[in-house]
Amino acid sequence: MFFADGGFSARTRRSATAVNHQRNSWSALIGRWLARIDRIHQRDDLRAIADNPHLLADLGLTRDEALGQANKPFWR
């Protein structure tokens, strides 16, 4: 009965998926950290141009909006 319902093959597939998932989760983790680092740099750049009204106008932001975005924590 156990083999007739495909229970064994389902377990085999699940374990193979878990192995692939573990490998993919490392790349996803690295991707998230790289995105956070990129966000930190973008916010530093935004903070640097917050006093330049011409650049802010090109972005369509006010100084308060730019500083509000620049001061967010890196994880948000």
46 burial via Cβ count (<10 Å: 0-12, 13-18, 19+): buried
Residue 36 lies in a domain: yes
Q: Tell me the pLDDT band of 76, cut-offs 50, 70 and 90.
A: confident
**Residue 32 sits in which domain range?**
28-76
Higher-confidence residue of 68 and 2: namely 68
Q: What pTM does this model have?
A: 0.57
Asked if residues 74 and 32 have their Cβ atoms less than 8 Å apart, the reply is no
> What whole-number distance in Å separates Cα of residue 73 and Cα of residue 17?
35
> What whole-number distance in Å separates Cα of residue 6 and Cα of residue 62?
62
Residue 23 lies in a domain: no
Residue-wise pLDDT for 2-53, tens only, equals: 555 555 555 555 555 555 555 668 888 999 999 999 999 999 999 999 999 9
SS (H, E, C) 35-68: HHHHHHHHHHHHHHCCCCHHHHHHHCCCHHHHHH
pLDDT at residue number 19? 53
**How many domains does the chain divide into?**
1
